[in-house]
Amino acid sequence: MRLSAFFFEIIPLTGFFISTQYFNLIIAAIITLILSLFVMLTFYIIEKRISKFQIFAIFMSALFTLFAYWFDNDQFVKIQPTIFNGFFSFVLLVGIVNKKAMMKQFFGSQFFLNDETWFKLSFRWGMFFLFLTIINELAWRNLITEDWIFVKVFVLTPLIGLFMLAQLPITLKGRIKNK
């Protein structure tokens, strides 16, 4: 992923944080969803492809935002990361048990890596998603909304970035050179 693409991807998160300063959590989630769709459409125009992961993430966000709006309950916004991360942790770790590197299913069209690397990344990301699931559950259940927003934006998001960077050496080492 190019560095410019990474910075472009933080637009929805920035929109979420700024909009929570002026609106309630449900409106902020709607704004974030619109920004996410904008980012996905922009990537499609530029690269002529959309990852399955991106489609699923936006679908989950839309579903939980709709529930939050429909039931007028911001807990749907707060539990969305738990469900999303828990689902991916489950898929990745069950894939490992079944000898399938599920990361390859999601990102195989973007990265060309050997099977050993796909398995290592699937395991690492599966465990990391499990960690994120637990942290979000603890945060939304025990913190006020403003503190949960702080944890989501200023703790978990940087952790995701750092974890992603920590996977860079194994990803570079496992590249298939002929593609």
Question: If DSSP states are collapsed to H, E and C, what string results for 81-136?
Answer: HHHHHHHHHHHHHHHHHCCCCHHHHHHCCCCCECHHHHHHHHHHHHHHHHHHHHHH
> Tens digits of per-residue pLDDT, 82-133?
999 999 999 999 999 999 999 988 777 777 899 999 999 999 999 999 999 9
* pLDDT tens digits, 7-48: 677 889 899 999 999 999 999 999 999 999 998 898 888 888
CA–CA separation, 56 vs 76, rounded Å? 17
Contacting residues for 6 by C-beta, under 8 A, at least 6 apart = none
C-alpha triplet 135, 141, 143: angle, nearest 5°: 85
| CA–CA distance, 111 with 168 (Å, rounded to integer) | 12
Give this prediction's pTM.
0.86
